[in-house]
Amino acid sequence: MTKKAPDFDAVVVGAGFAGMYMLYRLRELGLSVRVFETGADVGGTWYWNRYPGARVDTETMFYSYQFSEELQQEWDWPERYPSQADLHKYACHVADRFELRPDIQFETRVDSTAWDEEAGFWRVETGDGASTTARYCIMATGCLSAVNYPEFDGLDDFAGETYHTAHWPDGGVNFTGKRVAVIGTGSSGVQSIPVIAEQAAALHVFQRTANYVIPSRNRPMEPEEVAEIRANYPELRARAKKSFSGNYFPVAGPSALAISKEERDREYEARWAHGGLVFMAAYADFQTSDAANETASEFIRNKIRGIVDDPEIGELLAPKQAFLCKRLCVGTDYYETYNRDNVSLIDISERPIDRITPEGVCVDGQVYEVDVLVLATGFDAVTGALKRIDIKGMDDLKLRDKWEDGPRAYLGLGVAGFPNLFMITGPGSPSVLTNMIPSIEQHVDWITACIEHMRSHDKIRIEPEAEAEKSWVNHVNEVGDLSLRATCQSWYFGSNIPGKARVVLPYSGGFPVYVRKCDEVAANGYTGFALD
Ligand code: NA7
């Protein structure tokens, strides 16, 4: 008896940059694909994060797709760091240019998905009550998409307006004449605080941990630099792929300690003046030497002390943890904002927020009365979006149960016990430690080649072998524990989510090493995967 065919060859969950490119590649292969997307439009991260000042901190010409030469030659980026609006415009252009929309079902959340071993396909249940079957289920759910909504006592009783930066209302929020509280000083807080401060009557910032913020030096793109990048794209892209983060950042030397303080400070000054993430690559031993790291940490702390007029506030804003332990922030006028009369900083590092009252935020018995509460409290990173879907594999094994003590996946691409399930930039891949779009393209290309291989070899089922998965997870953890990132509390290790296992989420061995491993696995007939 022939088996019933599934509705689609593949279901893709999410229509951000990963889901869109996955759809494009699978369709090229001749597969029937259905993409489910919770939002009303494409863009993922850049659809949801509409908070004031939202922009990417990777240079515009490189935070973009490279699969289409025409696209990268023709698209005009207006600024060095594109705003959320420009990134969303780009995502819409890609969707229209490659006619992706007809295969995307918007405003449809995937609630659960279960593997049917007998039928040999996934059954995907969506919020509209429908059930869809597909041979492959591909998770393009994003690394920073599951919102961390803090559980403050009294939050629901707050009488004013409450917004999370990652679920910002379309059309924006008018802060004019309002008293505002921002809770959180990661990238979203750092970007939104200066913009809100310009509008609000009063702004209270509640800071649990001070972060390192490098000035962005954002500016319009010059036609000559655009022409030069376009003319050299293949070479520049290739060079970026050879570097640790998939971004090309020139390194000044192997060690910050091998040169004089004067020489080192000249380098730091030049990078501070240049702006952006390039600061993090000044010397190669920031992640391995505390003393080298401290030279950069102290340089930035001194910059902060120099910018902020009130020495006590300057000291509170100076980070205590090592440079790069948490994600580096890139901002515009961030520290300068604390010199404004309408801005106050409340340190909650030792006295956490007691509760939210109908009037405002209560810390140490004092209520800061506000009209608007902005939660810039981040995400349940990397695994959150996957665990929020009820994913059931072989023998009713649930992904969220398997990952109770930390994620276990092979190369961040597949999970033992979950046949024909792929993840794009899943845990154990370099993902958030790299330029996301090249990482997404690498995963999508790998998955496409894998499916192509299966089809040409008459295989219909693929699953990571338990041993291969175990040894990759051990490697990811070993490398993760060696990194300086293991020395503080950060979302890289899940520490920002109460109750989440403290386990490293991204692979910190670098993009080139990881890509080599993925390529070897494929070239050797998908070693570590069982194909039937
Ligand atoms: P982040 O970087 O996780 O920042 C969230 C901020 O919110 C951070 O300062 C947290 O303090 C703070 N936070 C979270 N929960 C609480 C509670 N319960 N009380 C007080 N403060 C809290 O998220 P972002 O959205 O800013 O940025 C995420 C990434 O997006 C970013 O790194 C870029 O890659 C793009 P903590 O540091 O945990 O003490």
- The CATH number for 97's domain is 3.50.50.60
pLDDT attached to residue 377: 98
Test site for ligand 1: of 377, 382, 485, most ligand atoms within 8 A of the Cβ: 377
* Distance between Cα 187 and ligand 1 center (Å): 7
Per the CB < 8 A criterion, the answer to whether 109 and 15 are in contact is no
Q: Are residues 190 and 300 in the same domain?
A: yes
Ligand 1 atom 12 nearest Cα = 184
Last residue of a domain, one of 375, 404, 432: 375
Q: Do both 165 and 190 map to the same domain?
A: yes
Average pLDDT, the chain: 97
117 and 161 inside one domain: no
Question: Does some domain include residue 390?
Answer: yes
CA of 183 to the centre of ligand 1 (A): 9
Instruction: Choose the final residue of a domain: 375, 401, 418.
Output: 375
Do 423 and 463 share a domain, yes or no? yes
> What's residue 486's pLDDT?
93
Task: Report the separation in Å between the CA atom of 489 and the middle of ligand 1, taken as the mean of its atom positions.
Answer: 11
Q: How far apart are CA 19 and CA 437, in angstroms?
A: 11
DSSP strand E in 404-504: where? 421-423, 462-464
Q: Is residue 129 part of a domain?
A: yes
Task: Give the residue whose CA is nearest to atom 28 of ligand 1.
Answer: 378
How many Å lie between the centroid of ligand 1 and the Cα of residue 129? 34
**CB hemisphere CA count around 224 (13 angstroms):** 0
Q: Which residue has the least CA distance to atom 35 on ligand 1?
A: 187
Q: Within the chain, how many helices (H) and strands (E) appear?
A: 16, 20
pLDDT in tens, 443-483: 999 999 999 999 999 999 999 999 999 999 999 999 999 98
Q: Which domain holds residue 74?
A: 8-147+381-527
Rounded CA gap, 387 and 390, in Å? 7
Residue 137 in tokens: 């289920």
Taking the centre of ligand 1 as the mean of its atom positions, its distance from the CA of residue 377, in whole angstroms, is 4
pLDDT of residue 307: 98
Residue 190 CA, closest ligand 1 atom number: 26
Tens digit of pLDDT for each residue in 27-65?
999 999 999 999 999 999 999 999 999 999 998 889 999
Beta strands in 99-201 (DSSP E): 104-105, 110-116, 121-126, 131-139, 161-164, 179-183
> Tens-of-pLDDT digits for all 532 residues of the chain?
567 899 999 999 999 999 999 999 999 999 999 999 999 999 999 999 999 999 999 988 899 999 999 999 999 999 999 999 999 999 999 999 999 999 999 999 999 999 999 999 999 999 999 999 999 999 999 999 999 999 999 999 999 999 999 999 999 999 999 999 999 999 999 999 999 999 999 999 999 999 999 999 999 999 999 999 999 999 999 999 999 999 989 999 999 999 999 999 999 999 999 999 999 999 999 999 999 999 999 999 999 999 999 999 999 999 999 999 999 999 999 999 999 999 999 999 999 999 999 999 999 999 999 999 999 999 999 999 999 999 999 999 999 999 999 999 999 999 999 999 999 999 999 999 999 999 999 999 999 999 999 999 999 999 999 999 999 999 999 999 998 999 999 999 999 999 999 999 999 999 999 999 999 999 999 999 999 9
Q: Is the shortest distance between the CB of 58 and ligand 1 below 6 Å?
A: no
How far away, in angstroms, is 184 Cα from ligand 1 center? 5
Determine if ligand 1 sits within 6 Å of the CB of residue 208. Answer: yes
Report the DSSP pairing between strands 179-183 and 161-164.
Answer: unpaired
Ligand 1, residue 187: give the atom nearest the CA: 26
Rounded-to-integer distance, Cα 233 and Cα 261, Å:
36
Residue 163 lies in a domain: yes
Look at the chain and count its residues.
532
From 496, 497, 502, give the residue whose CB has the most ligand 1 atoms within 8 Å, as the site to mutate. 496
Same domain, 363 and 431: no
Phi and psi dihedrals of 306, rounded to 5?
Answer: -75, -30
Pocket perturbation via mutation, ligand 1, pick of 149, 196, 208 by most ligand atoms within 8 A of CB: 208
Q: Whose CA is nearest to atom 31 of ligand 1?
A: 187
pLDDT confidence of residue 4: 85
The domain boundary, picked from 348, 375, 402, lies at 375
pLDDT at 2: 60
Distance CA 187, CA 193 (A): 10
Do residues 203 and 263 both lie within one domain?
yes
Query: Within this chain, do residues 75 and 184 fall inside the same structural domain, yes or no?
Result: no
Which pLDDT value is given to residue 60? 82
Residues 454, 440 share a domain: yes
Are the C-beta atoms of 55 and 83 separated by less than 8 Å?
yes
**256 and 360 in a common domain:** yes
Instruction: Tell me how crowded residue 288 is: count the other CB atoms within 10 A of its CB.
Output: 12
**What is the distance in A from the centroid of ligand 1 to the CA of 311?**
24
Judge whether 505 and 427 are in contact, CB under 8 Å. yes
Cβ contacts of residue 155 below 8 Å, gap of 6+?
162, 356
In a domain, 237, yes or no: no
Residue 85 covered by a domain: yes
- Out of 187, 191, 433, 435, give the residue to mutate to test ligand 1, the one with the largest number of ligand atoms within 8 Å of its CB: 187
- Residue 44 pLDDT: 98
Output the residue whose Cα is nearest ligand 1's atom 33: 187
Residues 504 and 355 in one domain: no
Q: 429: Cβ below 6 Å to ligand 1?
A: no
Evaluate whether residue 190 is within a structural domain. Answer: yes
- Does 262 lie in the same domain as 137? no
Distance 1 CA to ligand 1 centre (A): 55
Which two structure tokens, joined as six digits, stand for 302? Answer: 């001194």
Query: Does residue 2 fall inside a structural domain?
Result: no
Cβ(145) – ligand 1 distance below 6 Å: no
Q: Is residue 484 part of a domain?
A: yes
Centre of ligand 1 to C-alpha 488, Å, is 14
Quote the percentage of the chain above a pLDDT of 70: 100
Closest among 307, 327, 326 to 317, alpha carbons compared: 307
For 140-253, strand residue ranges (E) read 161-164, 179-183, 202-207, 213-215
Alpha carbon of 186 to ligand 1 centroid (Å): 5
Overall pTM > 0.95: yes
Contact 186 CB / ligand 1 (< 6 Å): yes
Do 476 and 339 fall into the same domain? no
DSSP 125: E
Per the structure, how many domains does the chain have?
Answer: 2
- Give the model's pLDDT for residue 159: 98
